[in-house]
Amino acid sequence: MMILQTAHELLQHAGHLAELTTTFQASYGKGYRINAGSDRDTWVLYRNIQDAQQAIARLLSEDALEHPHALSGQWWDRYDVPDASISQALVGQAGHLIAACAYCEANKADDDCYRSVDATQRAIAGMLHPSILLLASDEKVRVTAS
């Protein structure tokens, strides 16, 4: 179950992702595609964006990883990295997640209260690349099996 402290950590990672994707878009343009000819700095930034998505995905519930809800379409069909608007929307959802967790924790709520938390986690998952979700889900399975 998502707790407030974890939601704050997720917001921190979401802010970092927004910084990275905005930097990528400002440096290379919205439609830039990574390829074998891309320079080293481009690849480093791309990998940092992937790592930031992974950090967010690791904090989400297994249900969110397995059943994401795409609010903004499948950006990965058009771009190699999320554009700045997707990252900004993710930051907004992370803020909503903090509010939902705070409400549930303050009211010592039952499982019904956490429906909003779960729905928000699925919305966040829907903004991350599917391969990132798969990796995070696999990690959770391995940890559980250990």
Q: How far apart are CA 146 and CA 141, in angstroms?
A: 9
Q: DSSP character for 81?
A: S
pLDDT at 95 over 80: yes
Q: For the chain, give every domain's residue range.
A: 4-145
Q: Please enumerate in sequence order all residues whose Cβ is within 8 A of that of 13, keeping only pairs 6 or more positions apart, or say none.
A: 52, 55, 56, 59
Query: 36-82: per-residue pLDDT in tens?
Result: 999 999 999 999 999 999 999 999 999 999 999 988 789 999 889 99
Q: Which residue has the higher pLDDT, 142 or 135?
A: 135
Residue 107 token pair: 């009211």
Q: How far apart are CA 57 and CA 33, in angstroms?
A: 23
Q: Do 6 and 59 form a contact (C-beta atoms < 8 A)?
A: yes
What pLDDT score does 5 carry? 96
What pLDDT score does 146 carry? 62
